[in-house]
Structure 1
């Protein structure tokens, strides 16, 4: 072959690498789930405009960034599937089918276990993660749960998963090694999201059917209620601020967000969040909240320094989960 051919080939390869590097260097896109449109909105973090929409399965409600930061996994509850998205480029990496009703999802920090809550079918599934296999999730055990398992969290040692049981007003703890329930306890009205403190000693439960966050001591078994902390009506979803001390909770009925000091166990601030605030992400600065305004079909940006809404962008119907790689430490 002629030398010119190899020159063109080398140029094309170099250009491809340069474009890939540029994509990695660009600000990470914001990914928003549109639960009733079976799609993901890709939002530019600088212009705060919707760039495009990516089709997913039916009813994508929650999403989760893998602990290695390589994929955002979208759980499509009614399609029994997972959509893997590159968090740098917002392009689809692959789709995994055969996952039963994945409403909520969590990876264990060691990435050995993957857990889903089947909100509609009343069970919790524990999978072994085998990334090299054609089907990377191997079901280890399906655990029948009281009515409507909702949100999940896993301790930092990857030993225990905690799940709220929304319509039976309960909380369940499951041992990951044995895949057996450890205990089930009653909690307040309509528990939704659950948040475990960095020391694994305390669990917060948001009560969407009330105006409280309940605080449980995890150093005893079963967990013991130690405080009911008044936040605002419809306490629903948590997101850590990233400073090792504070966590935000969205109050879906009150259209507010509360900032909780989980060391002193007090509410230290409130912010307006119009349109039925649901899931949140916190930018790396620890001061900016992204929250889905579920009833308003918008993504809202809130500046906690001046306690006001800074920007909004219209997305799809019933926006639910929101994530970006440019997030505060978790």
Structure 2
């Protein structure tokens, strides 16, 4: 007897102003339920082992762990101070949070179950997004209102460098070879590209994408990344070998975080001002569906995703 095919994993959309997560059925494109979280959740993160989707509840100083296939709450972890943005190292030995309101980055040791604070590092004004290299050695932090990029050594928890960048840096994205870092400039019209292979980051290109360049997502082919342009209401596809914009997609109503489906056919986009999940067909470059969700949708994640690099 042939076993029935496993149904697709749900899509999770974080509703920042409602304090909950919309669970979307990717077959019917309908919301099946909402999962309550803490106050002011801003970002979601799928752990590298893909066993949990974590919601960072900034105003509740907590994390909500959700099963990425059953959409059931696994547990809540308290005592994580102002977790605005979050990231695990690929080897899952380190867990890092950016305290957006409190101007610090927390580095935790992770034993597979518990986070133990290793060091709290003061930053400039408004640490925003995080990226950790493939070797699990360095975390890169955008400092939004100080217009800086900070690098921290995970093993020693020492600050390696602080580099001036363009206006209001938001998301950061590293290429698979750890040589380049892309920085989205929300108060500008594009992305700055830095060579991070040396002791100090070196600006190699300013790449126009659209006003309000904000959040990245890998297309999954190890050649391209997407960036959402929040003011321009577009999504740009960046070839990070040639450092050129090679395609543009619609990104209606304040595009923010994105996901790319495992088959590489769809972009799932949080349209923050419209309270909708927008589905974009990559081949036709057209919006094919919008799903109503909660207020100020932010993070979008699913277990059935394209490769992260």
TM range (shorter): over 0.9
1:108 matched to 2:85: no
- The answer to whether the Cα contact below 8 Å between 2:13 and 2:23 also exists between their aligned partners in 1 is yes
Q: Provide, for residues 54-103 of structure 1, a one-character-per-residue CA deviation record: whole Å limited to 9, x for no partner.
A: 10000111011111010001100000000000000111000000000000
Please state how far the C-alpha of 1:220 moved relative to its aligned partner: 1.6
1:71 matched to 2:49: no
1:70-219 equivalent positions in 2, closer than 5 A: 70-132=51-113, 136-219=114-197
CA distance in 1, matches of 2:139, 2:72: 30
Please state how far the C-alpha of 1:294 moved relative to its aligned partner: 0.2
- Match for residue 16 of structure 1? none
**Which 4+ stretches in 1 moved above 6 angstroms?**
none
Higher helix proportion (structure 1 or 2): 1
Give 5+ residue unaligned stretches, structure 2: none
The SS at the match of 2:59 is helix
The SS at the match of 2:295 is coil
The SS at the match of 2:28 is coil
RMSD: 1.0
The SS at the match of 2:43 is strand
Please state how far the C-alpha of 1:285 moved relative to its aligned partner: 1.5
Which residue, 9, 30, 36 being the options, matches 1:55? 36
The SS at the match of 1:25 is coil
- The answer to whether the Cα contact below 8 Å between 2:92 and 2:112 also exists between their aligned partners in 1 is no
1:242 matched to 2:223: no
The SS at the match of 2:112 is coil
Please state how far the C-alpha of 1:143 moved relative to its aligned partner: 0.1
The SS at the match of 1:78 is helix
Q: Provide, for residues 216-235 of structure 1, a one-character-per-residue CA deviation record: whole Å limited to 9, x for no partner.
A: 00112210001000000100
The SS at the match of 1:249 is strand
- Match for residue 286 of structure 2? 308
Q: Provide, for residues 86-126 of structure 1, a one-character-per-residue CA deviation record: whole Å limited to 9, x for no partner.
A: 00011100000000000000000000000000001000000
Please state how far the C-alpha of 1:287 moved relative to its aligned partner: 2.6
CA distance in 1, matches of 2:92, 2:272: 31
TM-score (norm: length of structure 2): 0.98
| Larger Rg, first or second structure (1 or 2) | 1
Higher strand proportion (structure 1 or 2): 2
CA distance in 2, matches of 1:312, 1:206: 25
Which residue, 262, 267, 278 being the options, matches 1:289? 267
TM-score (norm: length of structure 1): 0.92
Please state how far the C-alpha of 1:176 moved relative to its aligned partner: 0.2
Give 5+ residue unaligned stretches, structure 1: 1-20
Pairs aligned (count): 306
